[in-house]
Structures are given as structure tokens and as C-alpha cells.
Structure 1
């Protein structure tokens, strides 16, 4: 790839995304809604609490969750509005079992349920059937592989009560780097050591070779794919059974200022989080020659 070939992509500022506390995590729901967790000190409670925002461009709704001691990494929502917060890591109890790292709250911030989705979580997506897709990085895959833990499969799907309904048995995943669940019958993932991009469609998988480069999020549109590891973002194009890099991507604001931050991708949407606000766009907004 000619690294001098840089494609500049404009992202729009999400008006109601001002961050006044500590940004914890950003997520994209199956309906395309942006969610954001912010940690803020509550002067009445005299402690930090979590503000979980649902963003609607120029306005947002906020749910206050008192449990700020858990280091949550992922946020998503179920079809009825319940909120799912998940920590990437989980501790083990005195009997050796894993403690809960997935917590479900109602729109008022009341805890409804909690359970363990295993340790070493790389990504979490809820689909339109309220199934929870979970990918795992290497520590989750190998930490308890001898006991055949769910994380050892690299990719699994759970129902809304935390019961596994699918475990990957077709791909030798050591580390599931990236996940993009577009629907219950249309999901993509990228795994190591084979550096393969897999498309699961109606229960059937098709895999494509990819450049030997790790990325944590990606979106697909037609023959093109955008991948990112937050530091570097690339445009790829499918050629037969493989994806090849075409150009480096630089995101910029509406004023043409280069943007750098944490990037989340799902379906064909991109959200970039800076320290003070969010910027968003869709793949279909970009013209690719």
C-alpha cells in the first residue's frame, strides 16, 4: 500500500455529546443509537456515579447508575430500553468461579440482573433479538481453556439472561480482535492468528484473508471495509477472497481539524470520542472511487 495515499473523512459533531466528567465508554446499538458512559462526582451522594447517555444529536436522555466502582468497558441496550454495562475483566470468587461482569439496568438506573460473560472480553454487541454477542482476547481464550470455559471459544452468543446459545467451534480463534454485529443473521469478526475476516450470514460463514495488521473495530460497505486500531485507520477493498489496503484514513471535524480519539464502529456507523465530545458519520456518506 502507498502510505502517502491519505483519504480525509469528515465526521459531524454530535451536538448533545459534551463530556463534563470522565469519559468511560461509547457504544452503538443495533438501531444505530449512540450511547456513552460518563463518570461524574455526585455532591449529594459524595461519590462518583455513572451517567449513561442516549444521544439523539441535539438532545440526550440520561440514566444515573450508582455503581461506579466497576470498571465498565462496554455499553449497549436491549430492544425494550434496558441498559447493558459490561466490564472486560472479572474477578474470581473464593470458590474459583467468576464474579459477575455484566449488569442490566432499567431506564431509572435500578439494577435488574447481573451475571458473568467470562473474563477477557474484547467486544460486546446486542442484536435485535436481545442476544448478547461477545468476543474474547487471548487472556480470555487461554486463561481457562483447560476447563472449556466459554471464553476459550473466542466468540460466543448469550441470551438476555446470560445463558450461552452459541459457541464458536469452526474457527481457531486465539484472539478475536474485532466484532461487528449488524443483525442476528449478519455478523462479522476478525481473528488471530489466521488474520481472517469472517462473515456469518444466516448461520453460514465466509472468510477472507486480511493484511497482517491488528485492528479493533471495522465496518463494511459493499466491497470496501474501514478498519481501525484507534491510532491508524485504513480503507480496504475486497479482491476475491481477500481484503487489501487502499489508503490511510484521517478523520477531521467540520472545520477541517484532524480528529484523534477512541473510535467505535458498528454496522456502517463510526463514532469518534475525544476528551470533550463525540463525532459521528456513516460509511454510506463517504464517496469511494
Structure 2
């Protein structure tokens, strides 16, 4: 790839996305909403609490969750508005069983349920059937066998009650670095060591090779693919069963200022989180003609 070929892509500032506390995580729901967690000190409680924001169009609603002790990494929502917060890591108790790292709250912030989705979680997406898709990095895949870890499959789907409904048994996953669940019958994932991206569609899988470069998020549109590791973002194009890098991407604000931050991608959407606010766009906004 000619690294001098750089596409400058404009992202729009998300209305009502101002971050006043400590940014914890950002997520994209299956319905198109942006979820964001920030940690804020509550003077009445004399402790830090979590503010879980749901952003859509011009408005923002906030749910206050008192539990700030868990180091949450992921946020998503079920179809009825319940909030799912998940920690990437979890501890085991004296019996060798994993403790909960997935917590479900109602829109008032009351804890409804908790369970374990296993250790070493890389990505979490909830689909339109309220199924929870979970991918795992190497420490989850190669966890102690005494824990009966399902993370060893690399990619697992749970129902809303934390029961397993699907385990990957076809692909030799050591690390499932990236996941993009567009629907329950339309999901993509990228895994190592094969450096392949897989499309699961109606129960059948098709795999494509990509350059030997790690990435944590991606979106697919037609023959094009955008990948990012939060440091470098690339545009790729499919040639047969392989994706070739076409250009490096630089995101910019509405003022033309370069943007750097944590990037989340799902379906055809991109959200970039800075320390103070969010910026968003879709693949269609800049798909090459």
C-alpha cells in the first residue's frame, strides 16, 4: 500500500455528547443508538457513580448506576431498554468458578440480573433478538480448563439470561480481535492467528484473508472494509477472497482539526470518543465512488 495515500474523513460532532466526568466506554446498539458511560463523583452519595447515557438524534437520556467498583469495558442495550454493562475480566471464587462480569440494569439504574460471560472478553454486541455475542482474546481462549470456560471457543452467543446458544467450533481462534454484529443472521468477526475475517450469514460462514495487521474494530460496506486499532485506520477493498489496503484514513472534526481517540464501529457506523465529546459518521458518508 502507498502510505502517502491518506483519506481525510469528516466526522460530525454528536449533539449532547459532552463528557464532564471520566469517560469509561462507548457502545453502538443494534437500533442505531450510541451508548456512553462516564464516571462522575456524586456529592450526595460521597462516592463515584456511573452515568450511562443513551444518545439518539438530538437528545440524551441518562441512567445513574451506583456501582462504580466494577471496571466495565462494554455497554449495550436490549430491545426493551434494559442496559447491559460488561467487564472484560472477571475473578474466580474459592470454588474455581467465575464471578459475574455482566450486569443488567433497568432504565432507573436498578440491578435486575448478573452472571458470568467468562474471562478475557474482547467485544460484546447485543442483536435484535437480545442475544449477546461475545468474542475473546487469548487469555479467555486459553483460560484454566478447571473453570469450564466457554471462552475457549473464541466466539460465543448467549441468550439474555446468560445461557449459551452458540459456540464457534469451525474456526481455530486464538484471539477474536474484532466483531461486528449487524443482525442475528448477519455477523462478522476477525481472528488470529489466521488473519481472516469471517462473515456468518444465515448459519453459513465465508472467510476472507486480510493483511497481517491487528485491528480491534471494523465495518464492511459492499466490497470495502474499514479497520482500526485506534492508532491507525485503513480503507481496504476486496479482491476475490482477499482484502487489499487502499489508503490510510485520518478523521477530522467539522473545523478540519485531526481527531484522535477511542473508535467504535458497528454495522456501517463509526463513533470516535475524545476526552470531551463524541464524533460520528457512517461508511456511506465517504464511500469511494
Please report the TM-score for the alignment, with normalisation by the length of structure 1. 0.99
Question: C-alpha displacement at 1:58, in angstroms?
Answer: 2.7
Rounded to whole Å, the distance in 1 between the matches of 2:243 and 2:259 is 26
Q: How does 1:188-267 map onto structure 2 within 5 Å?
A: 188-267=188-267
**What's 1:161 paired with?**
161
**What's 1:123 paired with?**
123
Q: How does 1:21-170 map onto structure 2 within 5 Å?
A: 21-145=21-145, 148-170=148-170
Q: Secondary structure at the match of 1:234?
A: strand
Please report the TM-score for the alignment, with normalisation by the length of structure 2. 0.99
Rounded to whole Å, the distance in 2 between the matches of 1:35 and 1:177 is 21
Question: C-alpha displacement at 1:98, in angstroms?
Answer: 0.3
The answer for unaligned runs of 5 or more in structure 1 is: none
Q: Secondary structure at the match of 2:244?
A: strand
| CA offsets 1:24-76 (integer angstroms, 9 cap, x no match) | 00000001100000000000000000000001243200000000000000000
Distance 1:145 1:214, change over 3 A: farther
Rounded to whole Å, the distance in 1 between the matches of 2:242 and 2:116 is 36
Q: Secondary structure at the match of 1:140?
A: helix
Rounded to whole Å, the distance in 2 between the matches of 1:40 and 1:80 is 26
Pick which of 55-64 and 154-163 moved more.
55-64
Question: C-alpha displacement at 1:145, in angstroms?
Answer: 4.5
Rounded to whole Å, the distance in 1 between the matches of 2:268 and 2:185 is 16
Q: Secondary structure at the match of 2:94?
A: coil
Q: Does the aligned pair in 2 maintain the 1:123–1:178 contact within 8 Å?
A: yes
| CA offsets 1:166-191 (integer angstroms, 9 cap, x no match) | 00000000000000000000000000
Q: Does the aligned pair in 2 maintain the 1:135–1:176 contact within 8 Å?
A: yes
Q: Does the aligned pair in 1 maintain the 2:90–2:100 contact within 8 Å?
A: yes
Rounded to whole Å, the distance in 1 between the matches of 2:175 and 2:213 is 13
Question: C-alpha displacement at 1:147, in angstroms?
Answer: 5.7
Rounded to whole Å, the distance in 1 between the matches of 2:285 and 2:77 is 25
The answer for unaligned runs of 5 or more in structure 2 is: none
Q: Does the aligned pair in 2 maintain the 1:195–1:210 contact within 8 Å?
A: yes
After TM superposition, which residue ranges in structure 1, 4 or more long, deviate above 4 angstroms? 145-148
**What's 1:172 paired with?**
172
| CA offsets 1:136-191 (integer angstroms, 9 cap, x no match) | 00000002257652000000000000000000000000000000000000000000
Q: Does the aligned pair in 2 maintain the 1:228–1:263 contact within 8 Å?
A: yes
The Cα RMSD (Å) is: 0.9
Q: Does the aligned pair in 1 maintain the 2:13–2:253 contact within 8 Å?
A: yes
**What's 2:20 paired with?**
20
Q: How does 1:1-16 map onto structure 2 within 5 Å?
A: 1-16=1-16
Q: Secondary structure at the match of 1:265?
A: strand
**What's 1:278 paired with?**
278
Q: Does the aligned pair in 2 maintain the 1:16–1:56 contact within 8 Å?
A: no
Report the count of equivalent residues.
Answer: 289
